[in-house]
Amino acid sequence: AQTVTQSQPEMSVQEAETVTLSCTYDTSESDYYLFWYKQPPSRQMILVIRQEAYKQQNATENRFSVNFQKAAKSFSLKISDSQLGDAAMYFCAPGQGGSEKLVFGKGTKLTVNP
Amino acid sequence: EAGVVQSPRYKIIEKKQPVAFWCNPISGHNTLYWYLQNLGQGPELLIRYENEEAVDDSQLPKDRFSAERLKGVDSTLKIQPAELGDSAVYLCASSFRGGDEQFFGPGTRLTVL
């Protein structure tokens, strides 16, 4: 079974600073998608960013970017210019079986300090 | 565009009672997912539908859990009888097709007393 490790249960960052959340995973597949989802206290999971494993270029979405190292099976999320609204649980979710099934990590709780 | 709708948002029941959760996916989304999220954990897939067909129900505890997606639109997840360990958040998600971005509903928080 695929495993996903988010080694930082909690992280904190000062407003306007940069923070990086780590994620490693185990897969035998060669082509898949990877996702970062955000879950604020309201519980609604929201997609932050998506990366296609066959693409060498790291995905970027405004203040959010990833560092995808396919060989190392690492998929970290960088949040630049952190805002109070970024405070949430962040889940890493690599796809399995053609990305039709997502396997979620345990999450990292991000606190943004004013 | 309306998002994924789930009801109820909260449910409190006594153990051994039945309970049902309802999900209405985004219009046009063929793939529907039910997830279980325990406190402090990431979501775990229970069942995935492609239209009205359950294509992955390997993680669904079939002795007490059942699901249906009649006409390939709305879906219902049922637990009968509920146990204390079923207390969790049940999330529904949908996507246009398997592998695409999944859009999640707000979830149903179940408490079994």
Q: Which of residues 74-103 of A touch B (CB under 8 A)?
A: 91, 93, 95, 98-102
Partner residue facing A101 (CB), from B56, B91, B107:
B56
Alpha helices (runs of H) in A15-104, residue ranges in sequence order:
none
At the top level of CATH, the class of B5-112 is mainly beta
For A104, which DSSP code?
Answer: -
Find the CATH number of the domain harbouring A65.
Answer: 2.60.40.10
Q: What is the SS3 assignment for A86?
A: helix
Banded model confidence at residue B23, pLDDT cuts 50, 70, 90: very high
Q: What is the SS3 assignment for A85?
A: helix
User: Is the distance from CB of A80 to CB of A65 less than 8 angstroms?
Assistant: yes
Q: What is the SS3 assignment for B108?
A: strand
Q: How many domains does chain A have?
A: 1
Q: How high is the pLDDT of residue B1?
A: 65
For A56-71, what is each residue's pLDDT tens digit? 899 999 999 999 999 9
What range defines the domain where residue A93 resides? 4-113
Parse chain B into domains and list their residue ranges: 5-112
User: Is the distance from CB of A49 to CB of A58 less than 8 angstroms?
Assistant: no
Q: What is the SS3 assignment for B71?
A: helix
Strands B65-68 and B53-56: unpaired
Q: What is the SS3 assignment for B86?
A: helix
* B98: pLDDT strictly greater than 80: no
B93: contact with A, CB 8 A cutoff: yes
* B36: pLDDT strictly greater than 80: yes
| Per-position b or e across A10-27, b if 16+ CB within 10 A of its CB | ebebeeeeebebbbbbeb
Beta bridge partners, B79, equal: B19, B65
Sorted by sequence, the CB contacts under 8 Å of residue A107 that are 6+ apart come out as A6, A9, A39, A89, A90, A91, B40, B41, B42
For B51-71, what is each residue's pLDDT tens digit? 999 999 989 999 999 999 988
- How far is B89 from A30, CA to CA, in rounded Å? 32
pLDDT average, residue stretch A95-99: 71
User: Is the distance from CB of B43 to CB of B37 less than 8 angstroms?
Assistant: yes
Q: Which two tokens stand for residue A83?
A: 């805002």
Whether B106 sits inside 8 A of A33 (CB atoms) is: no
The nearest alpha carbon in chain B to A44 belongs to B106
A16: contact with B, CB 8 A cutoff: no
